[in-house]
Structure formats: C-alpha cells, structure tokens
Structure 1
Amino acid sequence: MRPASVKDVADRAGVAVGTVSNVLNYPERVSARTQEKVQRAIEELGFVRNDAARQLRAGRSRTIGMVLLDAANPFFASVARGAEDAAAGAGSSVVFASSRHDARREARYIDLFEEQRVQGLLVSPVGSIAARVAELRSHGLVVVLLDREGDPQLYSSVSVDDVHGGYLAASHLVETGRRRIAFVGGGRHLQQVADRLRGAEKAVAEHPGVSLEFLPTEELNVLAGREVGQALVQRSRHLLPDGVFCANDLLATGVLQSVLLAESLDVPRDIGLVGYDDIDFAGSAIVPLSSVRQPAEEIGRTAIRLLAQELEDPGAPHEHVVFKPELVVRASTGTPGARP
C-alpha cells in the first residue's frame, strides 16, 4: 500500500488540496471546523507530510548540520546535546556527523549537508577551513565554528581558552610538587592540542627546575592513553615523569589504567595525573581524575544562538564567544604542597 497523499486527505475530508495545505502550513487561514475535518482525515489515513518536498520548495530545511571532531568523545556528545536542546526549542532539529579527525571525511560531510540545503552548519574543524567557509557563505549558508576561534570576517565561533586551560593543568601539577611533567596528546596540527600544550609550556617556563616532555599520540582515545601508560611504566624511576597532563580525559583514563595495572606505581603518590574536558566518567574513575572543565552543553547552546542571530540578520557582525575553563581537583593529583 502506498502512503496517503495530500489529495487522499482532501478527498476524505471533502475539501480542496489547497485547503489541506493551508491547514498544514497556515492554519490561521482556515476555520476551526475545517481544520477539525482535515485533522480527522489525517489521523484516519495515517498521513505523514512530505517535509523533504516542502523543504525543496522553500529552498532551505529546518535541519541544522553539525560536524563534530570526534563523536566518540563524551565532550562532543555533550556539546551536541546542548545544541540539540537549543535547536528543538527554536523548532529546528540537528543532524550529527563525525569527522574522526579526518579532513577528507569532514569535507564530504560538509558537501553532503550543503546538498541537503540545511538551515545552517556547525563545524568543529580538523584544520583550517576558512576557504571552504567563505565558499559556503557565498552560497548563502551560515556557518558557526565550534571549539575553535576563527576569522572574524568570515564566521562566528564558540570556543574555550585552551591556552589558559593548559596553564591551569600544568600549574596545578607544579603546585603539588611535580618537577618532571609529561604532556600526552595528539599532534600539534590539532589546534586544541597545540593550545593546551602551549599553556603547559607557559606554566613550566615560570618555574626553574621543572621540565616538560611532549608525548604525541596517533589518536585521542583510551587505547592511545593506555599505550602511553604502558611505555611509561617500563621506564626506570629517574626517567619517569612525576606529573602527567593529558589533552583529554580519554587519554588520561588510559594512562591511569596502565599505571594502576602495573601495581608498582601509585596515583597520585608516584604520578600526578590531570585530564581535560571533565567528562562524566572523570569523577567516577577508580582514582577520580583531576580535570580541566569545559562548559560543553553551553558551547552547543551558544552555537545555536549565534546561528539563529545570523539567520535572522545576515548583515549583523560576527560574534566570537570564548569561555574560560576551570580546574576541578580530585584524587589523581592530591593536594598542593602534599609532596616534598
């Protein structure tokens, strides 16, 4: 059986096709009695409106495209949740895609969303996409960057001061008596990683006698952190860092697992450990993780607000919102001054 059409509804209700269209799109133009007849016919036939056709006629959908850097990371899941809630309140929906740190994959999703004539696009980019954004905007598509500052002439953005976040994390490790600090993270090509490392370098430079070692990883997940942790526990004590700052909580969780499994080392006695993002799991780990908290859901909500502003007034100046992160201290680092 084929799906019921608008004509089927009109025939059942005994009205014109245009009247059904008005009930669906402009109910104020139709009397209450006629609306009731049409709604009854819709329910009896199980009619579902073809929103794709409506969007095609209008030239834009009520859907917002969102390309996340890594949907497997709970931080980005929380950003998406905030965006979804804000969009729903404005009568729109959000469709998510994950680039998984792959620029080509990111480009394919952006192309797909443009082809689908989405209302707007939120992107947490792998690298620089300034040229692509300029092209999209020339086609009338509004773009807001997530978790990244950008060119104020091209787009609005929502980000966190990751340099300050890295500074907070490394400073805390120094305050708890750590002198050999390791930074664990992906390559410097990821702006967020580079900024967090830069903040850690700034903090270490303020304290003579404190060193910082960079331990790059291919991925930013628990498995990559576990591999770094396994390599660390094989070191002799005089080469072992006594403080580890990870670019996110997933890496920190992996490092923590490897160190605890070694049984010869203790967190925080031998190694102080700080993560980043303060995902839900951080506080419930077997040794609760100190972490740099980002307001993930607020980032998503703010991105939707900026998108809505530009859709309403395309000529308005772009806005750049930068949140300040905060350090959440837990058992994985102990307390300042606890070590000699």
Structure 2
Amino acid sequence: MSKLLTRRSALGIISSAVGAVAFAGMPAFGQTKGKLTVAVPGGVVKDLETNIYAKALVAEKGYDVQVVNQPDSALEQLRAQVKSRNVIWDVTEINSLTFPAMDQDLLEKIDYSLVDPKNILPAYAKRPNAVLVLVWSTVLAQRADKLPPGKEMKSWADFWDVKTFPGPRAMRKTSHHTLEFALIADGVPKSKVYDALATKEGVDRAFAKMNKIKPHISAWWDNGAQAVQVMSNGEAFYTPMFTGRLQSLSDSGIPLKLVWEGGLFHTTYHGILKGSKHVREAHDWLRIRATNAELAEKYVQTVPYPAPIPGAYDKLPASLQAMLPTTPPHPEQLFIANEAFWYSERGNQIQDRFLEWILA
C-alpha cells in the first residue's frame, strides 16, 4: 500500500500551477461525447481526481474531462461565474472555504436517480445540490504510552479531567471545532451543541469550561502538522487531531488510543454550478466520484479521506480501517460539523471573542 498523505500536506507536495490538467490518452476534442471541467484543490488531490476519476469517466463515456485548480478565492469565483452567466467550471468541490455556496443559489439541483441509482449512499451524503465525496474527522487522540496504568480516556470529559489523566494537552487555536468539545465535556448532548452556541448562555458556558482547561494547554496549534509535532515530541500527551494525521504518528511508532465519541465529522462535497452547459455530463461525474467503491478504495490508500460508500474499504488493512471516520460504528459516534454556523455573523463574533480570550 502506498504511503498515506494527509489532505493538507498533500496539497503542497506537487506544484499547483493554475490551468487544466489533461492526461495521456484523452480523446481529442471533437471526438468526444461531451465536455466537462472539474475544479478541485491542487497538488496530489488534483492528481488523484485526474488519474483515478477523470480517467475512469473518459474510459466509460468518452467525455473530454479537464481537472483544474480551485484557488483559495473559489467562493468569490463561483459567485462571479454564476452571476455573469459565464460558467467556466461545471463541477466544483465544496469544502470549508466554499461551504456557503450550498445556501447561496450557486448550484444546480441534483437528480439522484442519475447520481445514486441504486440508492447506496447514506442519507447524510445527499444534499439537494451537492453530494458527499469525502469525509474526515477531528477526534481525541491520546498517547497510549503516557496514559496512567490501566486507564484510558473515553470522552471529552476525560480530556478535562486533569486529576485522573495528568499531563500536558494541546488544542486547536480557533473557536470552531474547539468550543464544541468544551460543551460536550460540560454535558451538552452532541445533537444540541450548535443550539447552545446560538445562545449567549451557551457561549458563556463554553468559555467557562475552556477557562478550566486553559492552564493545562501546553500548545495551541494552527494546523495538523503542528498537532503531529507536539504529540511526537511529547509536548502534549492528548489533543484533538485530524484523522488524516493519525497514520503519520502511528507510522513513527507512537502508540495511539482514539476517542471517536463526540468527535466532529467534516464533510466535502461536489456540486454542479448553476448555469453549467454540461449538466448531464456533470451528473455522470458525481455518480462515479461519489458511488464507485473500487475507485474510492484506490483514493483512500493515498489520501485517507474516504467517501461514505458502504463496504468500499472492507478489504483494506484493519489498521487503516480503524482510522477512517466511515468505518462503523464511527459515523454514529461522530456529529457533523456545522460550517454554516461558523460562517455566520455570530460565528465570527465568537471567533473574535476566542482570539481575545486566548491572549488574555
């Protein structure tokens, strides 16, 4: 099996020069049955989308498929293309930077009789205008060699229990995907976390809980690589961590114990731009990208962010399956991150408060 790369680290491995990527053997323009442009982040992600999914669609349908770089300003470009009715991308990735596109009338409604004709996808994978193509999670990671004898964290409440589980901790330096865990540790059901954050009382409750753990946080990390580093060098024994980073720690010989209960389920979708001239071809892309188990298995062996296709990863090594958020019972233990909340005015206000709090 090829060495696993994280989504964020993979993006920097290969240069991301803007422009279309065509691969050898693609039918010449004019001999194709249709045309399709797909915009995704660059680097290895773009390579995989091209060499796994685009190649398969060309072989199946004979389309002229181009995979292009989706820049950091993708949301603004989506708006501009749709507003000007000059749609350049037919399919675009909907990630943490472009999530608001799903609620801003920028995407076509999806016909799931074409995308998921056998109805194999779970309900949470099918939005009206976007289909889930990969997921990743933030879970509680603990160094098994640093745990007290005979003890193991089972919840976010345990992360806050510094008497039973002494030792340095690390957390992400942001309000989103951090305050959720504070509320869960304080007894809020995971299904009610964002309801609580929508109220002044709930936000105050989250910060009060953060006040209790703050003296025990030895490192506040900005990105997944830093989380790996502080766990590797022993600066922290326990931290929330992106699941895509777990393999690198495991490969380095550091024994890990994970707490999936109360972890966050992060979602990445593909959608069709409103006004696309190739909607039928785009539906074929969504079908092959979201429901093809064989291709999904190939993808996850390089970038460990799976599509939620039942049974797609059953043949992979058990050690890898154990780190995938789609492996049962993980989906039931996790809850979906509400990116729309953090994009709202209230979310921005909470983030401002968090940044002031962390410097106090």
Structure 2 length as normaliser, TM-score?
0.38
Q: Which protein has greater RCO, CA pairs closer than 8 Å, 6+ apart?
A: 2
Q: More helix per residue: 1 or 2?
A: 1
Bigger Rg, structure 1 or 2: 1
Structure 1 length as normaliser, TM-score?
0.39
